Amino acid sequence: MRCCLLLGLLIVLCRGVCLAAEVDPDAWVTRSFWMPGGMVSVEAGWGDETGRLVELPRKGASEGEWVSVLRMHTEWMKRQLGGGLVSFPEGTVLVYDRKSDTLAMRSTVAGMQWAETLEKSALDKVQRSLVFRLEVVEGDAGMIQEMVSEAADLREHGEIWKRLEGLIKEEKLLVRETSRLEVKSGQRGVLETGKRLTEFVSVSVDAEGRMELVEEERRAGMRLEVDPVLRPDLNQVDVNYVWSDDDAPSAKRMKILRSKPGDLGIEMPVLDGSGVSVTTTGTFLDGDVRLVGVWSVGVVARRMRAAFLKCEVVPLFAKKADERLEEGLKKYADLVEIIPVEKKSGVDGGLKVRVFSVPGDFLIQHVMVGEDGTPVDPFSNTPTKRVFSSAREVLEGWGIQFPEGAEAVFSAASGTLWVKNTEETLEAIEMYVGHPRKRPLTLSATVRVVQGDSALVRELMGRMGESGDHSALWEEVQVGMKEGKFSAVDAMRLECRSGQRAVFKSGMEFGDFPSLKFEEEVRQDGKEVETDGERKGVMKSKLETGWAGMCFEMDPLLGPDGFTMDLNLAFEFHHAPPDWDEASGGWEFRCFETTTSLTVESGSQRVIGVWKPEGVLGDVLQVAFLKMVRVGGE
């Protein structure tokens, strides 16, 4: 019995909490709204009978002064705001301070909806900067590859990053880089971190034995370059970006340069390093976190790194409404006598009022009209004219209907359009002037390189021609990895916009000085310089660099159906570390390369390469699977 009573009490309490959490539209509240830039122009002429602007009462003002100011502010604002379209609940009191651009209001929750829209419209006019934050983490290759598989079908990776932050606190992941870059829309921003090194790039020796060394600066660290553009909705950011992460040189070798066998030679230092670079485009929503790169540490993938890029749209200054106005309302609002209004806020015979944020030239239309003012053929050479229309005429030109009692008013001071109409019509207007929070369209590519017994891979190859979608074969490979029949070799992820080029490259960079060779001196007229019948010149050697790792380049174009993609791609994979050949004084690279064009379906898997790796024990083959995914755009 006691348990039942306790259970009943718990249910009642839970219901009470749920009801309390719900917003009551008829509840009376007092709030302040910040209207940066002002919501009322001085030319509006609001004030007392002398025409002077009514200032707020000074400190220590009497009760009568406060009541008088609140009454005049409320009556004027009810007449002016929205051209009188809005009917406020009886008892609504408003006060506005031009110095702090603060509007304070005592009304119902429903009655404040228009003020919330006005505040948003004002805040939208505040200048904004774009902030990019790049994080690079390192962890076990298996864990990173599982994350790559999860991220393939997601447009945004904020939840994945939150989980990784937990692993960072548990010291299961290492943070390699953290950087922040702030830039204006339409401007280029660049940040660089790390060391500045110098390396020799050429050496020359003249006939007298004089040696000349040429060196250049090299940066070892991270570099981020962005060219962002903020869309008019202040929510989406189109950005072209290039980022690279070059580790400090992992080894310094000494190369002996000789002009011929038996010479003592010249000893030159050579730096070898590793890193990654990505060149691509994307569209971010405010606050988006994206996985923009995954690569192996070294040529063999035992540990991997992942890069996350976050984009934020940040107002120039924070919201700072002057809350002192609320104190005056709370003390004296009940003493203000306002002419009562019968209708509730925003409702009149089935019509509702909605406030839209619109451009300042909303009433200006560029139309083609004849001398008599009538419309003409739009394909004629008649010049356009600027025509100023009313808000209602602009909307009627869009096909918007206005039943009896409906109206539209444009406020240039606040940059807002006030419309009283039916709910269905207001929704239609929203389609014209609203800025819906759409998910940007992104095309992502994920490449997974696996290795298995030759017999197993050949059996898979025998079935690859059955369909252009190799998803079923990839599922078999995943099962085989769990059973130990296949092993993961490497992985990569790259994304971009449709119709744009994107390039990913990671691996080791190696330097080499070839043997000294005679380089003739040439005059400005192109003839050789001779001294006593002998050609004049120097023995010279220039640094040559090589690279070994993975490179993926794509040009995807989304088809009209929204699911298939035409894809031009180039893929290069070095399946073993290079060897140094002492005899030739150079590197021997082992790699697979392909350049091709495909049509793929979003979400499908496609084999883009099969090869036999050199320097790997056993009879094995390696396979590269590509998954292209279209995400967002809804």
Return all residues near 87 (Cβ < 8 A) that are at least 6 apart.
341, 342, 343, 344, 345, 346, 347, 348
Rg (CA), the chain: 35
For the stretch 393-416, pLDDT in tens is 888 878 888 888 888 887 766 677
Residue 385 banded pLDDT, cuts 50, 70, 90:
low
Query: Quick one: tokens of 257?
Result: 């340069």
Instruction: Identify the pLDDT of residue 472.
Output: 93
Please choose, from the candidates 573, 540, 541, the residue with its C-alpha nearest in 3D space to the C-alpha of residue 270. Answer: 541
In the predicted model, is pLDDT for residue 348 greater than 60?
A: no
Residue of 340 and 484 predicted with greater confidence: 484
**Rounded to an integer, what distance in angstroms lies between the CA atom of residue 404 and that of residue 384?**
33
Average pLDDT, the chain: 79
pLDDT (average), residues 484-504: 93
**Rounded to an integer, what distance in angstroms lies between the CA atom of residue 38 and that of residue 41?**
7
Residue of 72 and 191 predicted with greater confidence: 191
Q: Which of 112-121, 182-191, 424-433, 548-557 has the lowest mean pLDDT?
A: 112-121
pLDDT (average), residues 50-72: 75
**Rounded to an integer, what distance in angstroms lies between the CA atom of residue 72 and that of residue 49?**
10
Give the DSSP H or E segment for 365: strand 364-368
Q: Which amino acid is at 522?
A: V
Instruction: Identify the pLDDT of residue 345.
Output: 44
**Rounded to an integer, what distance in angstroms lies between the CA atom of residue 422 and that of residue 426?**
6
Q: Which amino acid is at 368?
A: M
Length of the chain as a residue count = 634
Instruction: Identify the pLDDT of residue 17.
Output: 38
The domain limits of the chain are 19-125, 129-181+193-315+441-516+536-631, 360-436
Residue of 295 and 114 predicted with greater confidence: 295
**Highest-confidence segment of 53-67, 111-125, 226-240, 354-368:** 226-240
Q: What is the DSSP letter of 485?
A: S
8 Å CB contact between 113 and 25: no
Residue 254 banded pLDDT, cuts 50, 70, 90:
confident
For the stretch 576-616, pLDDT in tens is 777 767 666 567 788 899 999 999 999 999 999 999 998 77
**Rounded to an integer, what distance in angstroms lies between the CA atom of residue 433 and that of residue 400?**
13
Please state the pTM of the whole predicted model. Answer: 0.72
